[in-house]
Amino acid sequence: MPHFIAKASSLPLPFCAGEYHFHEEFIHTQFPKQSLILVTFKDEPFLIKKVPHQKGMLFKAHKAARPSPVGILKDALGHLSKFCDVITHNLSKNSPKQSVQSPYLLSAKDFLTQQFSCYFLEIGFGSGRHILDLAQKHPNTPVIGIEIHTPSIEQVLRQIQILDLKNLYITKVDARILSNILPSNSARGIFLHFPVPWNKKPHRRVLSPSFLSQAFRILQKNDTLHLRTDDEEYFQDALKLALSAKHASFEVHKNLTQGIISKYEARWQKQNKNIYDIFFHCLQNSPPLSLAKNFPLPYHRDFFPSTQKILEEDFFVHVQACYESKNCIMLHINFGDFHAPFTSFVLVDHLVQKTSFLGQDIIPTEANLKAYERLKSIFGGSK
C-alpha cells in the first residue's frame, strides 16, 4: 500500500490542497508517538496513520478507514510529504484508473439509500470471470459483487469500464453484514463459488445457519443459493447445514461442468480434484424488511475516553483505542456480531458539541443495533 517514511515532519494543520482537506492530528492516548490525521476528499473522510519506524516516522492509511481507489490515498500522502523530510516512499505518479472514483463501487450507505430489486448477487468473485459473464448475459438485470480483496475489486472495476457494463456493482462490505440489510424477496440468485474453507476457523465462513436464513429471506421464491467448492470438508459441513433446516429443498452435484471456469478451478481440474455443488432452493416469500436509519450519539462535555470491552451473549463492544486533539476525541471501536464485527470511528467534537460516527453510520444488523444502544450509554456517561 502507498506510504512514506520521514525523518522529521512539520505539518501546518489544518490546510487544504485541491479537493483535500487535512483537518487535525489525533494523538494516541496510550502510545503518544502514534497518531491519526483526519483527511476528507470531496467530503468523504479517511485516516492516515503516523507511527514510529526504525528510520523515522511511517505515514500510511489506517486499514479500517482507507479511501478507494488507491490514487486518492497516494495523492493525500503526496501532499503531506511536502511538509516532511522524506527518506523513502512508493508514491509513484497516479495513472488515471487509480484516481477516478467509480460510480459502480458501492458503500454500505448506498445499499441503505438505494433500493435494489431483481438482481444477482455473487460473494467473493475473485478474478471476476463468472460475475463479468453474468453481467454480460443479463444486461438488464443488476449484478452485485462482494469482494474484500482490493486488487480483485480494482481489476473488475477496470473491466466494467472496458466492457462498458452498466449493470455491475461492486462492494467491499462483509457479506455476512450486507445480507442483513438487503431487501426481502429481491435476489434472482446468489452465488458463493469457491469460498475460503476456513476449516480450522469455521466461525469465519460466510455460509452459516444465520447467513443461510438471510439468504432465503433475500431470495425470491424458487430461486437458489449456489455453493461451489473443491474442499470436501467444507462441502460436508454445508450438506449438514442443508439437512439441519426445518424445511429444505436442495440439489447436490459432483464434478458438474460449468460454462465459465476460473483459473483456480482449471488448476484443480488438472489435479483431478473433485468439485462439489449444492443448490439451496428458496421455498417461500419473506415479509418486508424494516431498517433503522438514524443513529445519533449523545454529547457530553465531560465525556472521558477510555478503552473498554463489553461482552454480551449475542454482541460485543470494544473501544480499541482513544485519540485526542486540542478540541476533539476520536475512538476506534469494534462492535456487533462476534463473527462479523463492524469497525467504526466515533468523533466527539467539543467545538460544535456533537458526537457522531465518522463517515458512514452503522449498518443496522440486529447485533449492531444492540451494540449501538450500549454505545449510547458509554457516551452518555461522565468521568
Residue 230 among known ligand-binding residues = yes
CB distance 365 to 181 below 8 Å: yes
Which candidate, 146, 170, 148, places its Cα nearest to that of 158?
170
Q: Cβ atoms within 10 A of the Cβ of 88, count?
A: 12
Distance (Å, rounded) from C-alpha 231 to C-alpha 60? Answer: 37
Q: Are 61 and 49 in contact (CB under 8 A)?
A: yes
Residue 65: exposure state from Cβ atoms within 10 A (0-12, 13-18, ≥19): buried
Q: Bin 124: left if φ > 0, else alpha if -120 < ψ < 50, else beta.
A: left
Residue 298's CB is within 10 A of a number of other CB atoms, namely: 14
C-alpha to C-alpha distances, 383 to 115, 351, 380, nearest whole angstrom: 43, 19, 10
Pairing state between β 187-193 and 119-123:
parallel
200 is in an annotated binding site: yes
Cβ atoms of residues 238 and 227 within 8 Å: yes
C-alpha 188: how far from its chain's center? Answer: 23
Q: CB under 8 Å to 276, separation ≥6 — which residues?
A: 228, 229, 230, 232, 235, 252, 253, 254
Nearest-angstrom CA–CA distance, 218 and 336: 21
Burial of residue 18, with CB atoms counted within 10 A of its CB: 0-12 exposed, 13-18 middle, 19 or more buried? exposed
How many other C-beta atoms are found inside a 10 Å radius of the C-beta of residue 140? Answer: 7
Q: Strand 143-146: give its sheet, edge to edge.
A: 105-106, 168-171, 143-146, 119-123, 187-193, 219-229, 276-281, 250-254
- Alpha carbons 107 and 111: distance in angstroms, whole number: 7
What residue numbers does the annotated binding site for substrate cover?
Answer: 200, 230
What residues are designated binding site for S-adenosyl-L-methionine? 122, 147, 174
Residues in the annotated binding site: 122, 147, 174, 200, 230
